[in-house]
Every structure is written in C-alpha cells, then in structure tokens.
Structure 1
Amino acid sequence: MTPSALYQHLPAYLNADIIAEQVSLTLSEDMGNGDLTAALIPQGTQANATIISREAAIICGCAWLSQCFAQLDADIQLEWLVKDGDQVTPNQPLVHIQGDARAMLSAERPALNFLQTLSAVATHTRRYVDAIAGLPAQILDTRKTLPGLRVAQKYAVLTGGGANQRLALYDGILIKENHIAAAGSIAAVLAAAFALKQTNNIQIEVENLDELQQALTAGATSILLDNFTLADLREAVAINQKRALLEASGNVDLTTVRAIAETGVDRISIGALTKHIQAVDLSMRIQMKL
C-alpha cells in the first residue's frame, strides 16, 4: 500500500496535516531532546522489523503509524499487508519495516500506541455493530474521547462500522438537562435554538415520557432518550410515530444493546466506544540487516 493510499478514505474532518500534527506532538512528548537509549545503537545501522497482532482485531491507525516512522526518518520503508478496517487474526503480520535502526526504535512505542489504541476503538465498535446486525438502528459514539485524540477516535468508530454523533460543541446543538434548567423549560430552550436559524443539527435530551411529549409539541426533530427503560423506549417509539429521530443513550453494553435496538429507536450512542477500551496487543520484532 502506498503512503497516499492511507489517506484516501478519511472523513471530511480529518486529513494528512491533522495526522502529521498529532504525530509530531506525540513524538515531541516522548523524545524531548533525543532518545538516549536508541543512541546506544551504532549510527547508520540498518534493520528490518515486522509488526504483528497478538490477538484478533479490526485494524485502524495505519496512517498514524506510518507518520511516526516518516517523521523520524523519511527514508524508512513500510510495506503494509493490511489496511484500516481489515479483520486480523492472532500472530498475523501487519507491516514490514526497513531502514535506520535508531529511528525505527525511537518510533516504535508512539507508533504502536496509535495503532493499538485506534484498533481497540474500531474493534470495540464492531462488536456493538455485530450485536445489532439485521436491525435498522445505528451505533454512534459521543464526545467522551481521549484528550487530543477526538478526530482519530471518531475515525476509528467509522472504521469499526459505527457512525459519529456531533464532532464537537461547534458541530451541532445538544440540549441537556442543565441547558433546559437554565433556559426555563423545554419549549423555551428549543425556541431559542430554532431562532438561531443555523443548519447544524438540533437535538434535545429528555429523561421521561412527559418530557418527550413536551419536546415533540415544541417541534423537536431529534431527541435523545436518556436512561429510558426498555418499556419506556418502546412507548417513546409509539408516541413519536416517526416525527423525530430517536436516540437511546445510557446503560448500554453488549448485553443490552440488541434489546435496545429492538425497541425501534433510530440510533444508540455509546460513550464506552472511545473511553472504555483496552489496547489491542501488538508487537514489533526487529532483525538486523546482514
């Protein structure tokens, strides 16, 4: 896979410059004035390496890993055997690397950190997507992302087959209980939102069926049902009659998500996709060139 191919399918909010900046900050944080341990390797030493997955996973983050090596030595060569979105098995090779041994060793940990973290998000997302297979509901992320990795983690959710909720505070209006309290009522806060006459999505969170009815009466077209029971979710769908987009959130895990989807809601948002993850076990093994 060529370097340019790593960037062909990125969403609109993500590009090569953003990835390069994230990698630059990460390398600076890790290396500071230099890698003292890599300096033990004779200058100019050349090596080969292979990164493998120790477990089954959905791969995500190839562009970030490639950037880690490229920024330390543009002459390092990578031969990708997989691409973002591929399902891999234990002990499967992911990428072959050859070039300067010092640069390779300095890039190893930041590169693996990116790949194993984003692959974890994609893998976790795929489990939820598979759990509701055959049902029309979508699996969505939230803003509960790791600081500095918002766009990367949201891309990983897409890679795993999920969809993105709003990207950030500027990307849409989500009216929560404190906004309602500060504005005075559901009707008042929705009226204020509609008065902005902006094109971004306007969504309001409700906590019970009475608030749902108030939101519908006030003209809401997107409603988040917060911590509803299954019975109340079914009732909400019946009350709604497809007037608004309904999104369930709260108390969602792999044991409950299918039942939630079966109530007829349109979307299910899950903070755990990006904050309750365990890094995929990856390993880089280096061999000296003869």
Structure 2
Amino acid sequence: MIESTETALRAAGLDPAHVRQVIEGALVEDLGPDFLDVTSVATIPAEQTDTADLVARADGVVAGLAVAAAVFELVGDVTGSGRTVEVSELARDGERVARGDVLATVTGPTRLLLTAERTALNLLCRMSGVATHTRAWADALAGTKAMVLDTRKTTPGLRALEKYAVRAGGGTNKRMGLYDVAMIKDNHKLAAGGITAAYRRVREAFPEVPVQVEVITVAEAVEAVEAGADFLLCDNMTPEVLAEAVAAVGDRAELEATGGLTLEVAGRYAATGVDFLSVGALTHSSPILDIALDLRVE
C-alpha cells in the first residue's frame, strides 16, 4: 500500500493496517491460499499493461475509493509479482455520482487489474451502497435538528468500513462496539433490577465510559435522566409518545428514536425535537451501488 493511500485512509478515520487485513482476507477468499487467478494467468501475458475505468452503473453516493485503491496496490504484493498499479481518483468520497461517471482509473499489469477487480468492487460497491442509503436519510432529515445514526448491525469484519461509509453519506456513528460505550438495554435492566440499579453499577465499574439507556416509556426516560444518564434510546415509541419524552427530559439528555423507523415516517419523528434517529438498515439492508471495471485495451 503506497503512502498516499495510507494517508487517505487515515484521513477517513480508517486504520491502514486493519484495511490491509480485511483486503488480504477477501483476496484469500477469491484467490485461494496460493493467491492464484487461473483465468488471468492462462489468458493474459505477464508483460501486458492496460488501463481500466471504475464506472458508476447507477446514480448514488460514492464511498471507499481509497479502499479500492488499496486493493489494486496490494495485489502485486500478495501474488508475489512485485509489480505495481497506479490509481487515479476522479471522484471524492461523499460525492453524488451519476450513471456513467468514471470514478477512478487504474493502470498497471492487466493480470493484476483483473485479479483485483472483484475484491475492489465488492468493497467499493458495498461501501457506496451504504453511503447512498445514508444520504437518503440525511436528505429526509434536512432542515431539522435530527441526525441519522448507525448501529452495530454491520457485516462481520466490515464494521469500520461500513461506519465510515455512513459518515461519507452524511450520517453519524454511535458506538463502535461493546467496549467503548455502555448501553443499558431491557435485558440489562431486568438482570440488574431496574434502570437506576443498572446505571449505578455501570458507573461504579467504568466511571469514564459513556452510558446510554434504552427506555420504552416516558416514565423510564425520566428515571434514566434522574439516575444520571445523558443519552437515551427511545425504543419503539410513537411520535406522540416520543414528543412527550422530549418535553419531559428537556435539555438534560440527548434522545435517540429507534426501532422500525422508515424514510416515510422520518419527518414525523424528527418533528418531535429528538436529536437522532437510529437506523440499523443503513448497514444491514443497504443494496450495493452498482460499479463496474471497464478495461481499455489499446
């Protein structure tokens, strides 16, 4: 992975070492333990060099160009060829793109371009699909104080990439995992003997960790803020009940609406004055953005 790509990944909040690990795992899936593309090796001379375009096949929002670049750059390493690929980005992550737009060009050994093609596209299409879906939610909430949040309902192994794609699409990340934020949900409340007891236990065990509490009634919302919580997940509340919770809590905590939200009702929930709408579908149900690699043979 060249220095400029590592710099771009870091600027996106991604760890280049983790991205490399994800890519190498994906390449093993495609190329096997010997990193072999039997079709390209059999049909294309080792010395042949060409340029290919990454082309949008649909309108959307692009995300993951640096990740795709890293795939092309790393294929030479894992296959042992030692040869390099040059990637030139023509779009920027977070930009809206239209069908037919060229997002980037890649130049290098033709074997390497085609060997890297599917892994690069799998990641780029996935991330761009998440960004496109997120942008639809961000647009639906435009003009309100509410922002769209992601969840932990991510593809195993791709959480960091998918959460970056949410940011590129105009959304906001919540916790990364079970380690950086304590989230007291219904089962925790039940096991601990209630909201106040659960909150106290978390605060005593991990005094520096942010604590969030899931509530299902206005009374629970009031109990949670009086216990000390400053972030509440209002689960499966109607817009009317949520508005009551917002009024009861005031500015003592930030509130998130969660549970079964759709674009059709986003405006109604945002109108309650809630701070966030949490949407698991951003990462568990986003369709890909169709992007292709078109080879230019001179």
Amino acid at match of 1:69: F
Q: 2:103 aligns with which of 94, 97, 100?
A: 94
Residue number in structure 2 paired with 1:16: 16
Q: 1:39 aligns with which of 41, 47, 69?
A: 41
Q: 1:60 aligns with which of 59, 63, 66?
A: 63
Structure 1: runs of 5+ lacking an equivalent = none
Q: 1:164 aligns with which of 167, 173, 183?
A: 173
Do structure 1's residue 173 and structure 2's residue 182 form an aligned pair?
Answer: yes
More off after superposition, 36-45 vs 258-267: 36-45
Amino acid at match of 1:29: E
Cα distance in 2 between the residues matched to 1:221 and 1:78: 45
Q: 2:75 aligns with which of 72, 75, 80?
A: 72
Q: Is the 8 A contact 1:222 1:244 kept in 2?
A: yes
Q: CA RMSD in A?
A: 1.3
Q: CA deviation at 1:82?
A: 0.8
Do structure 1's residue 28 and structure 2's residue 63 form an aligned pair?
Answer: no
Residue number in structure 2 paired with 1:258: 267
Distance 1:83 1:4, change over 3 A: farther
Residue number in structure 2 paired with 1:115: 124
Amino acid at match of 2:90: L
TM-score, length of structure 2 as denominator length = 0.92
Q: How does 1:141-290 map to 2 (within 5 A)?
A: 141-289=150-298
Instruction: Map Cα deviations across residues 70-92 of structure 1 (whole Å, 9 max, x no partner).
Output: 11125211111012111111100
> Helix, strand or coil: the match of 1:231?
helix
> Helix, strand or coil: the match of 1:242?
helix
More off after superposition, 28-37 vs 126-135: 28-37
More off after superposition, 183-192 vs 197-206: 197-206
Cα distance in 2 between the residues matched to 1:122 and 1:43: 37
Q: Is the 8 A contact 1:6 1:62 kept in 2?
A: no
Q: CA deviation at 1:5?
A: 5.4
> Helix, strand or coil: the match of 2:174?
coil
Q: CA deviation at 1:135?
A: 0.7
Cα distance in 2 between the residues matched to 1:186 and 1:217: 10
> Helix, strand or coil: the match of 2:38?
coil
Q: CA deviation at 1:56?
A: 1.1
> Helix, strand or coil: the match of 1:97?
strand
More off after superposition, 196-205 vs 143-152: 196-205
Cα distance in 2 between the residues matched to 1:217 and 1:193: 15
Amino acid at match of 2:249: N
Q: CA deviation at 1:173?
A: 0.3
> Helix, strand or coil: the match of 2:245?
helix
- Say how many residue pairs are matched: 286
Instruction: Map Cα deviations across residues 10-64 of structure 1 (whole Å, 9 max, x no partner).
Output: 22xx222211111111111110121111112222221221110011111101111
Instruction: Report % sequence identity.
Output: 37
Amino acid at match of 1:53: A
Residue number in structure 1 paired with 2:5: 3
Q: Is the 8 A contact 1:19 1:63 kept in 2?
A: no
Q: CA deviation at 1:187?
A: 1.2
Distance 1:197 1:76, change over 3 A: closer
> Helix, strand or coil: the match of 1:48?
strand
Structure 2: runs of 5+ lacking an equivalent = 77-82
Amino acid at match of 2:195: I
